[in-house]
Amino acid sequence: MKLDHITLLVTGASRGAGAAIAKQCAKYGAKIIVHYNGNKQAADAVCAEIGGNAIACIQEDLSQAGAGTRLWEKAVAQVGPINALVNNAGIDLVSDPFGEEIEWADAWSKIMAVNLQAPADISRAALRDYKAAGEGRIVNLCSRASHRGDSIDHAAYAASKGGLLALSKTLARGAAKDGVLVYALAPGWINTEMAPTDPAILEPAIAEIPYGKFAEPSEIGAMVAFLLSDLCPSATAATIDINGASHVR
């Protein structure tokens, strides 16, 4: 499997699944643009590990208005044409309907900005370039919660990921005629720093997974690499579940 034909922007690539995606795709030959929010040291470390295939490292706070469009424009200005995008960056905050109004409103505002508005804006910018080029690829990191929902105090997260999944399907259907391939991944828990460590949460989380463990970031990276390889372009619009059989559709 080769990705020599791929120039890839990965959002949230300084850690976790984003870093794994960047590293795995680079191993197969893709040229990588690493996006980060605040941790430049971590982003630089990812670029150093990737080596020469890391062609840019760009900061942008995706919670801010217009950040998605700015990120794409910065990336294109630095490296030229980009033909692949992975919308990986995401946040999760408590959005308890029984909590305080200000906390509820703040969580919804921030989560929707980062998890849905920014990916939509980046994808819009990408689609315009892809249409002119006659080809392009988008992979959106959705969630098991896109299908089954989440705990009631994480309603905003589930809604944002459900929206991202609907966006993925819409773009896939509407842009296929322009040579654009769009995929969604719907992981459950991934073994990153965002995963629970409190035994009271960790043990039940693992107990509901028939496979018995969280997905590894490298698994997410491997699946993205395969999708970007163009070995199965007719899978466009597909949603790939990576959850250890904890949610079977």
Q: Which two tokens stand for residue 149?
A: 């929902």
Q: Which of 137, 146, 134 is nearest to 178 (CA)?
A: 134
What residues have CB less than 8 Å from 230, skipping those under 6 apart? 5, 137, 181
DSSP state of 179: T
**Six-digit token pair at 61?**
């706070």
> Is 211 considered catalytic here?
no
Residue type at 202 in one-letter notation: L
Catalytic residue among 28, 36, 130, 157: 157
Nearest alpha carbon to residue 163 among 217, 113, 103, 228 = 113
**CB 88, CB 39: distance < 8 Å:** no
Region of 134 (left: φ > 0; alpha: ψ -120 to 50; beta: rest) is: left
CA atoms within 13 A on the CB side of 11: 31
Q: Counting beta carbons within 10 angstroms of the beta carbon of residue 200, is it exposed (0 to 12), middle (13 to 18) or buried (19 or more)?
A: exposed
Give the DSSP per-residue string, 199-210: HHHHHHHHHT-T
Q: Which residues are catalytic?
A: 157
